[in-house]
């Protein structure tokens, strides 16, 4: 059995406001094993990126981890000081952000930005870091890497800038890579290239990866396991095959039904009615019940327990209570 690289337990992340703390992540628990790709999916505002920023220690100044633990290689990142996190971030755990034009510093060359983590974390000389930077640009498929090292981000295409971000993230051979919607700002053909590149590099470097996305097509292409988030909560988790072939939560089914199917001329898109609740919106019971076509009284009164559907698939939904127990299933205390 593969070792666990990351274990998040009962994570609660809040933001300060005039009305008190607003929870953006509500008791999330999950793990990532060595060499595994975990995809976190859900609509914008569901807590995907905040979960990633909590792991990286990059929350904005009004955000904080209010409860829970984040164990990486048996060390609790949630208890580390900013100085301690600097040694982990970019070295053992790296992150690729959504928009490379804003993630890269426009006033520094590509070479400067690649050399920096190599000189800080690996203590390489400037010359050694420069040569390693050229190798990294080759590795991520950037042509004329020697010339690219002297260019600024605005001189590169969107796809090339994202490849530079990947090169920087992988420069110190991290054990865990977090990719936060790395293909959102790119056109479709470049998206496919970046996904294939990440897949190949993950296998080549034997690292673990968390992919954050709202694109179910990307999930099918790259994931080993999938977590579905809604309004700050993990509502379903399972192997990618289980999530696609046997989704249990109405929200998961809604996400899959909203993906276009070009192979089926009779396919009819079925959008999920309503919108994600605001952080300060008080909802009793299941937070999805205002949008759920199957909601009944209990859904509106009590937050659902987590039910274990199979050995690897869990779901938080009261619709499971009767069906799971009748079929010999059992309740799970947590995800």
- Interhelix angle 110-121/126-139, nearest 10 degrees: 120
Assess if residue 65 is contained within a domain. no
The count of domains in the chain is 2
Assess if residue 48 is contained within a domain. no
Tokens of 84: 């301690």
pLDDT over 90 percentage in the chain: 77
Among 169, 203, 221, the domain boundary falls at 169
Please state, in angstroms and as integers, the Cα–Cα distance from residue 261 to each residue in 183, 216, 243, 258, following that order.
20, 12, 17, 9
State the Cα angle at 34 between 313 and 193, rounded to 5°.
90
In this prediction, residue 191 carries a pLDDT of 86
Whether this prediction's pTM lies above 0.85 is answered by yes
User: How far is the C-alpha of 164 from the C-alpha of 327, rounded, in Å?
Assistant: 51
Assess if residue 29 is contained within a domain. no
In this prediction, residue 144 carries a pLDDT of 95
Among 169, 194, 216, the domain boundary falls at 169
Task: Please give the residue range of the domain that contains residue 111.
Answer: 106-169
When comparing pLDDT for 325 and 67, which is higher? 67
Contact between residue 58 and residue 21 where contact means Cβ atoms under 8 Å apart: no
Q: 90-116 pLDDT, tens per residue?
A: 999 999 988 777 889 999 999 999 999
Contact between residue 255 and residue 235 where contact means Cβ atoms under 8 Å apart: no
Assess if residue 206 is contained within a domain. no
Assess if residue 254 is contained within a domain. yes
Assess if residue 201 is contained within a domain. no
Assess if residue 309 is contained within a domain. yes
In this prediction, residue 192 carries a pLDDT of 87
Among 129, 154, 169, the domain boundary falls at 169
Contact between residue 48 and residue 212 where contact means Cβ atoms under 8 Å apart: yes
pLDDT of 48 over the 80 cut: yes
Q: 267-323 pLDDT, tens per residue?
A: 777 888 899 999 999 999 999 999 999 999 999 999 999 999 999 999 999 999 865
Assess if residue 86 is contained within a domain. no
pLDDT of 50 over the 70 cut: yes
Q: How many CB atoms lie within 10 A of CB 241?
A: 15
């Amino acid at each position: 059995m593969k070792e666990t690289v990351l274990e998040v337990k009962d994570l609660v992340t809040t933001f300060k406001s005039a009305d008190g703390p607003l929870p953006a992540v509500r008791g999330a628990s999950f793990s990532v094993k060595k060499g595994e790709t975990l995809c976190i999916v859900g609509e914008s505002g569901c807590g995907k990126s905040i979960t990633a920023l909590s792991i990286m220690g990059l929350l904005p100044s009004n955000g904080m981890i209010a409860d829970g633990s984040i164990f990486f290689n048996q060390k609790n990142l949630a208890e580390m000081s900013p100085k301690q996190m600097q040694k982990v971030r970019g070295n053992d755990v790296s992150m690729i952000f959504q928009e490379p034009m804003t993630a890269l510093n426009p006033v520094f060359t590509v070479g400067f930005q690649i050399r920096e983590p190599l000189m800080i974390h690996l203590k390489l000389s400037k010359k050694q870091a420069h040569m390693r930077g050229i190798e990294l640009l080759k590795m991520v498929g950037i042509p004329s890497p020697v010339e690219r090292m002297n260019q600024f981000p605005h001189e590169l295409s969107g796809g090339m800038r994202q490849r530079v971000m990947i090169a920087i993230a992988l420069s110190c051979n991290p054990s865990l890579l977090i990719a936060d919607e790395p293909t959102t700002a790119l056109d479709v053909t470049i998206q496919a290239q970046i996904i294939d590149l990440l897949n190949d590099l993950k296998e080549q470097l034997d690292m673990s990866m968390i992919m954050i996305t709202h694109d179910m097509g990307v999930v099918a292409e790259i994931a080993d396991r999938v977590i579905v988030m809604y309004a700050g909560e993990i509502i379903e988790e399972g192997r990618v095959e289980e999530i696609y072939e046997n989704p249990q939560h109405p929200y998961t089914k809604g996400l899959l039904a909203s993906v276009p199917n070009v192979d089926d001329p009779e396919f009819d898109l079925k959008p999920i009615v309503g919108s994600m609740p605001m952080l300060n919106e008080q909802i009793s019971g299941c937070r999805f019940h205002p949008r759920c076509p199957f909601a009944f009284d209990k859904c509106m009164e009590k937050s659902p327990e987590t039910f274990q559907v199979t050995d690897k698939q869990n779901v938080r939904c009261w619709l499971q209570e009767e069906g799971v127990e009748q079929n010999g299933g059992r309740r799970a205390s947590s995800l």
